Structure 1
Amino acid sequence: MAKTYTAFTKLMSQTQAEALGEALEDMDPEPTGVGVFEIEDGSGTWEVGGYFLAQPNDIELALLAAAYEAQPFVVSEVPDTDWVDKVRRELTPVVAGRFFVYGSHDADKVPADSVPLLIEAAMAFGTGHHGTTQGCLEALDRLAAQGFTGQNVADIGCGTAVLAMGAAAIWPNPVMASDIDEVAVEVAEANVAANGLAEKVTCVEAAGFGNPALTDRAPYDLVFANILKQPLIDLAPDMAANLQPGGYAILSGILTRQADEVVEVYAQNGINQLRRDVIGDWVTLTLQKTV
């Protein structure tokens, strides 16, 4: 069986982490993917990793770690795996209020009284199995059960577009969905088409609201943003600018210890907490813009 390898390290400087990520790309053998991201634990630690189809050179990794003041790389051997088949076997349907999130292999399990949302195993990030996505769907279900009908909805950082599809499936008007990642937008479009919602959900590439297709449709009466703490904090002023008075924001991607900081920043921008729901270590916030 073919083997692949990962190499990870940690360091405290964003600048050094990004520079190390670029340096990894010049290794021989060359990695097929490099990731640089901040560990969301409040420590200011950054992780840099590479994915290799051949075993990376230990000496070169050690020199890179020393040059960029990083911890020694930890190299792990990863056996070849059919990830789509693995996801298909391990992901079971998720019920979130009226919504039933499932893969095509579970099509025979869809309850007659549910709102089904199909996410294929090959497109499995944002399937509803994560507490953040489930929490957002439950918040959407709760607003709808209270009599709210979204007239103009956006899903920022949409991933698979499961939240945008949920809104489009229960309300009559078109929904906007955006993601900063080009591949995620392609995945979102494929899922939207698979659910027969291509005429109701428009997917665009954007960082936050940074696309005229989004700002031209503003103000919104409901915006989803299931991303991470710092991007949510950075998004707050634009959220206030693009959310209509009385409009709702459903936010997640937030660890329980991070929720107060996010709530405070949004309150400073006139968007106040109505409800806080916890699933595991994750929080979903339902907020409303002050009229």
Structure 2
Amino acid sequence: MTNLQLWLSAIEIGCFFALIALGYLLVVVGADFFNFALGPFAMVGGLGTSWLVLEQEVPLWPAVALGLLMVLALSAVTELAVVRPVQRRSGRGELPALVAVAAVLFAVQQGAGLIFGRLSLPGQRLLDIDPIEVGDAFLQPGALLLVAAAVVVFVAVGGFLRFTRTGRLLRAVGDNREAAAVLGLPVGRVRLVAFLLGGLIAGIAGILYASKSGVAFTSGLGWTLTGFLALVIGGTGRVWAPLVGGLVLGVVQVFTPYYISEIGPETVILVLALLFFAFRPEGLFVRKVRA
């Protein structure tokens, strides 16, 4: 495993998985809920941006802004019009809300196919520079931007949760929603912030990753699963835990077909996930809940 080019690719893919997993983590921290629609949200960000640029001739950066606004709107609708009413009617039960979000996942996917078309579109290059030579390998501009964005986002989220009032409120509400409501904390507003932040990060990830592999309306389901598995492996105990899980999956995704061509990376990822579910379901880093 000394091929530097493969390692650069693994880090790029791992950072993408990690950003989706970080979106999951923020919703878990702030709303104590798994938003399985984050993969399609990332797809809408990438596909919507490319569709605006290629089909509607919108300039690149306004298209990026509009793509992210679409994702934020979907995030708000998911929380306000789906998850919150379903949990209220079901006595705050988790299963009905999860089923409802699964329906949102497929609805967003099919809606994107109707609006943006059912053909894959190339992603947009946000950094127009030549590839950077790293030893005997080359770092593509899109990969550089994705890795740099992942570092910035993880640092920013860590600082946000630790040092800002809203970040501390997110952790308080996620730890004990009933106690937070008794204390008069704005539970509804905090939950909405968690959904919006999770969706925003997923949208950024989708736009950045689309430049590597393109994006289609069917991409969201796979991204949902890999992002969730990255969170399962990393755990919820630290802000950077999803980064660890994402990088592990990135290494598996890249090196499995290169060294074990008889076994697909999806099989190895599934086996790895089953091992974690069986023997360490809390992930590598356990979340500490304050009483």
Q: By the TM > 0.5 criterion, same fold? A: no
Give the number of the structure whose residues are more often helix, by fraction. 2
TM-score calculated relative to the size of structure 1:
0.24
Q: Whose radius of gyration is greater, 1 or 2?
A: 1
Give the number of the structure whose residues are more often strand, by fraction. 1
TM-score calculated relative to the size of structure 2:
0.24
